[in-house]
């Protein structure tokens, strides 16, 4: 693709705007819900720290101005979001979370400044190029690796929660625009492109997982509204009530309500009934009456039949 300085700057500026504002929906979501549960604080911390080598790399490579500004704003907003995690989820005091966040922001800025001032004056061009590439590789590894703790949170909760999907969408768009900006630059920077592309891919996986979990929840809700589907999912069938009724000695199989103890479900399915004895909640099985506490630990149909045989 032919170099186009104007296109590179326009696309880079658009990418910078996306990556400047991408964390804002996440910060807003955390503040509105007063919770960051389900979002890994390690994600935001590592992303914030990754801005140090990424920013140094952009400065040393003399990338276009938007791509130089982007890592600085990206790192700052990530660390602000990390500070929210310390306050809402880690239960630090507001003052403590604020001070530790400011401290890390200053530390990251100082380290980046030292790296640039150390490498830029180097007379050995080979050593200078090697150091610059190390910064690029390190930033790419940190940016991609930072999402691994978020994948663990998704695995732990079996859901995508706490993290803003709008944030992920803007993050992907910013990475795409930055990639296009590099494509129109005079020299295509492979390491920077890898870093941006990894963000697109890994964010995209989380969005796909979010869609799959939504579909799973929708199917569960639909199954819960369909008795035949619920019976099929639980391994029971409508004929089971009739079969258990015959084995339990006849009588209508009662339907439990919220007022009935749920641990007596098995007895309710083998022809037992709730006694109306005043002051005592009992179950009548055949001709015998037993207190509910005696069958509190009945956990299977087999155990229920044993209780029935013992009492009849």
- 144 inside domain: yes
- 228 inside domain: no
197 and 303 belong to one structural domain: no
- 291 inside domain: yes
Cα 146 from Cα 210, distance rounded (Å): 18
In Å, how far are 21, 170, 181, 197, 216 from 173, measured between CA atoms?
A: 11, 5, 12, 11, 27
| CA proximity to 192, closest of 206, 204, 201, 181 | 181
Q: Number of structural domains, the chain?
A: 2
pLDDT per residue over 11-65, tens digit each? 888 887 887 778 898 999 999 999 988 888 999 999 999 999 988 988 888 877 8
287 and 150 belong to one structural domain: no
247 and 218 belong to one structural domain: no
Mean pLDDT of the chain: 76
Count of beta carbons in the 10 Å neighbourhood of residue 33: 11
- What is the distance, to the nearest Å, from the Cα of residue 189 to the centroid of all Cα atoms in its chain? 31
Least confident of 3-17, 44-58, 265-279: 265-279
Q: Which residues contact 122 (CB under 8 A, 6 or more apart)?
A: 128, 131
- 159 inside domain: yes
Cα 3 from Cα 181, distance rounded (Å): 10
77 and 45 belong to one structural domain: yes
Q: Reply yes or no on whether the pLDDT at 264 is more than 80.
A: no
How confident is the model over 106-124, as a mean pLDDT?
89
Point out the domain boundary residue: 223, 255, 276.
223
In Å, how far are 87, 117, 206 from 80, measured between CA atoms?
A: 11, 26, 22
84 and 168 belong to one structural domain: yes
In Å, how far are 23, 118, 250 from 164, measured between CA atoms?
A: 9, 38, 56
- Strands (DSSP E) contained in the chain are 273-274, 282-285, 288-291
Instruction: Indicate the SS3 state at residue 2.
Output: coil
pLDDT per residue over 187-235, tens digit each? 787 877 887 888 899 889 999 999 999 898 888 888 888 766 555 555 5
189 and 57 belong to one structural domain: yes
140 and 268 belong to one structural domain: no
Provide the terminal-to-terminal Cα distance of the chain, rounded to the nearest Å: 87
- 231 inside domain: no
- What is the distance, to the nearest Å, from the Cα of residue 65 to the centroid of all Cα atoms in its chain? 33
* pTM score: 0.63
**pLDDT for position 52:** 93
Count of beta carbons in the 10 Å neighbourhood of residue 277: 11
Point out the domain boundary residue: 223, 254, 288.
223
Instruction: Indicate the SS3 state at residue 40.
Output: coil
24 and 159 belong to one structural domain: yes
- 292 inside domain: yes
- What is the distance, to the nearest Å, from the Cα of residue 151 to the centroid of all Cα atoms in its chain? 7
Q: Which residues constitute the domain of residue 40?
A: 5-223
253 and 164 belong to one structural domain: no
197 neighbors 175 (Cβ within 8 angstroms): yes
40 and 139 belong to one structural domain: yes
Point out the domain boundary residue: 175, 195, 223.
223
- 180 inside domain: yes
Q: What is the 3-state secondary structure (H, E, C) of 221-276?
A: HHHHHCHHHHHHHHCCCHHHHHHHHHHCCCCCCCCCCCCCCHHHHHHHCCCCEECC
180 and 204 belong to one structural domain: yes
- For residues 220 and 112, the model is more confident at 112
| CA proximity to 192, closest of 49, 20, 53 | 53
- 229 inside domain: no
Q: Which residues contact 47 (CB under 8 A, 6 or more apart)?
A: 74, 75, 78, 142, 143, 146
290 and 173 belong to one structural domain: no
């Amino acid at each position: 693709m032919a170099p186009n300085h104007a296109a590179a700057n326009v696309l880079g500026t658009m990418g910078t705007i996306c990556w400047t504002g991408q964390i804002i929906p996440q910060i807003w979501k955390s503040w509105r819900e007063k919770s960051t549960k389900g979002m890994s604080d390690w994600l935001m911390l590592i992303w914030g720290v990754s801005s140090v080598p990424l920013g140094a790399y952009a400065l040393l490579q003399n990338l276009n101005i938007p791509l130089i500004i982007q890592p600085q704003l990206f790192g700052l907003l990530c660390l602000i979001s990390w500070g929210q995690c310390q306050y809402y989820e880690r239960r630090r005091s507001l003052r403590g979370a604020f001070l530790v966040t400011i401290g890390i922001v200053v530390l990251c800025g100082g380290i980046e400044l030292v790296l640039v001032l150390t490498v830029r004056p180097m007379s050995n061009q080979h050593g200078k190029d090697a150091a610059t590439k190390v910064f690029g590789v390190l930033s790419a590894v940190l940016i991609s690796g930072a999402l691994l703790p978020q994948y663990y949170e998704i695995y732990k909760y079996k859901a995508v929660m706490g993290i803003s999907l709008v944030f992920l969408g803007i993050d992907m768009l910013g990475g795409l625009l930055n990639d296009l900006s590099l494509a129109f630059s005079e020299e295509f920077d492979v390491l920077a492109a890898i870093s941006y592309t990894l963000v697109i891919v890994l964010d995209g996986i989380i969005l796909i997982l979010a869609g799959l979990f939504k579909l799973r929840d929708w199917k569960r809700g639909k199954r819960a509204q369909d008795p035949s589907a619920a019976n099929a999912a639980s391994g029971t069938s409508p004929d089971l009530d009739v079969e258990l009724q015959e084995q339990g000695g006849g009588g209508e199989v009662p339907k439990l309500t919220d007022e009935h103890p749920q641990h007596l479900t098995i007895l309710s399915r083998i022809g037992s009934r709730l006694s109306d004895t005043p002051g005592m909640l009992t179950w009548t099985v055949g001709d015998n009456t037993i207190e509910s506490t005696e069958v509190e630990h009945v956990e299977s149909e087999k155990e229920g039949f044993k209780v029935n045989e013992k009492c009849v």
